Amino acid sequence: MNKHQCTLAALLAYQLAESKVERDAIERFNPAIGKVMSESSAEMMRKTTEDHRGMHISAATLRDLVVGTSTAGGHFVETTNDESGFFDLIPQSMVLAKLGASVNLGMTSNVDLTPLTSDPTLSWVAENAGGSESDPTFGKITVRPKSAVAYVDVSRKLIRTAGQSLVSADGYKSSDMIARLLAKVAGVGLEKAALTGTGTTQPLGLLNNMTGMGAVAIGANGGALTWDAVVDLEAAALTAADGEGMHPALLTNAAIRKTARKNTYSGSANDLWERMEKMCPLAVSNHLPSNLTKGSGTNLSPVIYGNWADLHIFSFGGIEIMVDKYTGATAGTVRVYVYLEADVAIARAQSFSLIVDAS
């Protein structure tokens, strides 16, 4: 028998006592209770990130009860969930930075881009003749922060029993699972907006900002992607942008990858996807839709060829995590927010060409 042993009833009565007189009376009949409660509270303090209110009884305190019998203490035994046992949804691929997109972090003010839209023209002249004036022209692209927010409510009971750090009630910690999950959601949401954002309250994504980009059509109703169409796509961007200083890459979705791997291109036993991989860097993102329509064609997908350095992603202040333990205080709920201010700009539309009717 442990030298600090006392009964469960005494422990509960001691914790619920409303005055020192009541606690002193319980201690007279249970001399070890003070030591047990001290050890129990210290252990719980190490395991919880919430404000420490009152005393806590941990499973370790119930020393004369047994684990094997549920009604004799087994119900109190915690189940430990290792963080490696947390299975996220299948993660959405974040590929734009890998393709070379220009990611600008920590912006603190509005931004105006002034891309060069035409070069000066060189004139060849006769001896002693003067040249003609030829000025460059510039455009203007405004970048303004667009706001996004998400939040999760976490119950007091879940925080206490999860067996891992879900959220810290006294502030954000990078190790907290909920905070890390929300930060990932913000990053994925920004990449999706860079490709398909609708503008106004969202950034205007590339697929909704195609003015000036090269375009290749497969057919009146769309159709299967072919090697000829891929070559035309490359030529459309290189011709429009003169091909100078470009480091192009292809981007499409998993639906196109599947069909391209099943299709061979003319004069070869190799599949179309393999040929595209040899052409230039190639990536897949399911942020690109697979439900586009054209004529009677449905379930069509985009294929984008471009110099991705001309796609600029701006983040104003980074991803911010805020822990709110007051809004749901009456229920003991902690709310975790993620905030993001960001925008997207295409410096040179001519750097991109698109197919939007591939299957």
Confidence category of residue 164, pLDDT binned at 50, 70, 90: low
Between 207 and 7, name the one with better pLDDT.
Answer: 207
Confidence category of residue 108, pLDDT binned at 50, 70, 90: confident
What pLDDT is stored for residue 239 in this prediction? 64
Between 35 and 190, name the one with better pLDDT.
Answer: 190
Q: Which residue has 């902690």 as its token pair?
A: 334
Tens-digit pLDDT profile for residues 284-313: 999 999 999 999 999 999 999 999 999 999
The proportion of the chain whose per-residue pLDDT surpasses 70, expressed as a percent, equals 67
Confidence category of residue 171, pLDDT binned at 50, 70, 90: low
In this structure, of 47-56, 101-110, 215-224, the range with the lowest mean pLDDT score is 47-56
Count H helices, E strands: the chain?
A: 9, 15
What pLDDT is stored for residue 161 in this prediction? 76
- Of 213, 191, 214, whose CA–CA distance to 203 is shortest? 191
Q: What is the DSSP letter of 274?
A: H
- Average pLDDT in the 236-261 region? 81
What pLDDT is stored for residue 147 in this prediction? 95
Write out the two tokens for 334: 């902690």
- Average pLDDT in the 20-35 region? 64
What pLDDT is stored for residue 22 in this prediction? 61
In this structure, of 156-165, 303-312, 318-327, the range with the lowest mean pLDDT score is 156-165
Q: Which residue has 């806590």 as its token pair?
A: 56
State which H helix or E strand residue 16 sits in: helix 8-16
CA dihedral of 200, 287, 206, 284, whole degrees rounded to 10: 170
- Of 287, 288, 271, whose CA–CA distance to 224 is shortest? 271
The pLDDT of residue 172 is above 80 = no
CA 166 to chain CA centroid, Å, is 18
Contact 147/340 with Cβ under 8 angstroms?
Answer: yes
Write out the two tokens for 12: 């509960």
CA dihedral of 302, 285, 207, 265, whole degrees rounded to 10: -20
Give the other-Cβ count within 10 Å of 242's Cβ: 10
Collapsed DSSP state (helix, strand, coil) of residue 173: coil
In this structure, of 18-27, 279-288, 345-354, the range with the lowest mean pLDDT score is 18-27
Strands, E, within the chain: which ranges?
102-104, 111-113, 116-118, 137-138, 141-143, 146-154, 214-215, 249-252, 282-284, 292-294, 297-306, 311-315, 320-328, 333-346, 352-358
Give the other-Cβ count within 10 Å of 257's Cβ: 17
Give the other-Cβ count within 10 Å of 333's Cβ: 17
Tens-digit pLDDT profile for residues 48-103: 334 433 334 343 433 344 445 554 444 444 444 444 444 444 445 578 988 999 88
Write out the two tokens for 166: 């879900």
Q: At what angle do helices 33-47 and 8-16 cross, to 10 degrees?
A: 70
Collapsed DSSP state (helix, strand, coil) of residue 279: helix
Contact 357/297 with Cβ under 8 angstroms?
Answer: yes
Which phi and psi angles does 98 have, rounded to 5°? -65, -30
What pLDDT is stored for residue 46 in this prediction? 44
In this structure, of 17-31, 197-211, 245-259, the range with the lowest mean pLDDT score is 17-31
Between 359 and 269, name the one with better pLDDT.
Answer: 359
Mean pLDDT of the chain: 76
The pLDDT of residue 245 is above 70 = no
